[in-house]
Amino acid sequence: MNPRIFVSGSLAYDRIMNFAGLFGEHFLPEKSHDINVSFTVRDVNESFGGTAGNIAYSLALLGAKPVVLARVGHDFAPYRAWLTERGVDTHMLEVDDALRTAFATIMTDRKDNQITAFYPGAMEKAFTVPERILGGADFAIVAPGNPEDMRRLPEYFRANDIPFMYDPGQQITALSGDDLEKGMRRAKVFIVNDYEMAMVKEKTKLDEKGILEHAEIVITTVGEKGSRIVTKDAAIEVPPAKPENANDPTGAGDAYRAGFVWGLLSGWPLAIAGKFGGLVACYTIERAGTQTHAFTFDEVQSRYRENYKENLPLVKK
């Protein structure tokens, strides 16, 4: 199986740091209006990242043909070469010669709480959607990126009968309740983490049943506890896979999305697709950086069997 998948979202250079303590121990509630805090970190890792890049990278490892849709800056050449060498199609990217590619500085404490500073750079402007993207794809993923892209792309995919995953994630704060409700309409999959789900419910005034009036499958990831997959007919509690270590959680959600979409397009039951997504996420948790992991499909099959005491179904042709 080699599905062609459009992946929109961010492409960014990441600087990732781990803080040995807890952020919460250094914030004083009575001084929340006047914060001045410095954290000393012991390591810094620079890598390629961004939601679209991370998802596409893991999809390519699985054998898919991801096509990234995003705007990048004049400094993107090394990142383009990296993706191209690993089977990610970059020919639809729009390059801004006046701006840098987006840049993220991410700091994680020992309970996996994160503080991120994000410079959007070329991503500040919306992606110019070329007419040629409107066909020839098996699936699409709308991941956090330019807010205007997140408003427009779901409509493009609906209009051209391309099933899609809507993943508002970190951009929920930049999107209105109406934006979010329009984005999830006729989505094959709507996915957020548990904290983001609370934000979506608050902004849209929709409960889970209301969201299911728009999206066919609703997924809430809950970190080390696994994920919850809900349809109009069933609610599935998906147990987590076990990482060999918890080196760095950055990018785990992106890897989960890649694994789940692969399982969905393979025709697997949703419970298996969810477990597979959690297993793919383990690979990035175990390595510092979001595109530093690697695996073969045979390795993932073996590890799935070890974790869940069952074999993966055959991948449909």
Domain definitions of the chain by residue range:
4-23+42-307
Please check whether residue 128 is in contact with residue 112, taking contact to mean a CB–CB distance below 8 angstroms: no
Q: Which residue has the tokens 């459009």?
A: 6
- Looking at residue 110, what is its pLDDT? 87
As a whole number of angstroms, the distance between CA 202 and CA 278 comes to 27
Q: pTM of this prediction?
A: 0.90
As a whole number of angstroms, the distance between CA 139 and CA 263 comes to 12
As a whole number of angstroms, the distance between CA 84 and CA 79 comes to 9
The CATH classification number of 4-23+42-307 equals 3.40.1190.20
* Window from 60-74, 108-122, 291-305 with minimum mean pLDDT: 108-122
DSSP H helices, the chain, are: 51-62, 77-85, 147-159, 177-184, 194-204, 208-211, 252-265, 270-285, 297-308
Q: Which residue has the tokens 């992106």?
A: 254
Q: Please report how the helices 51-62 and 252-265 are oriented relative to each other, as an axis angle in degrees rounded to 10.
A: 40
As a whole number of angstroms, the distance between CA 93 and CA 11 comes to 10
Find the largest Cα–Cα distance for the chain: 60
Report which DSSP code applies to 275.
H
Structure tokens at 288: 């510092």
- List, for residues 183-240, the tens digit of each pLDDT value: 999 999 999 999 999 999 999 999 999 999 999 999 999 988 999 999 999 999 999 9
- List, for residues 241-281, the tens digit of each pLDDT value: 988 887 778 899 999 999 999 999 999 999 999 999 999 99
Average pLDDT score over the chain: 92
Q: Which residue has the tokens 């990234």?
A: 68
Q: What are the catalytic residues?
A: 254
Give yes or no for residue 31 having a pLDDT over 70.
no
What Cα–Cα distance (Å) separates residue 7 from each residue in 58, 145, 270? 12, 11, 21
- List, for residues 45-102, the tens digit of each pLDDT value: 888 999 999 999 999 999 999 999 999 999 999 999 999 999 999 999 999 999 999 9
Q: How many CA atoms lie within 13 A of 303 on its CB side?
A: 20
How is the beta sheet containing 12-18 ordered, strand by strand?
Answer: 44-49, 12-18, 102-108, 114-119
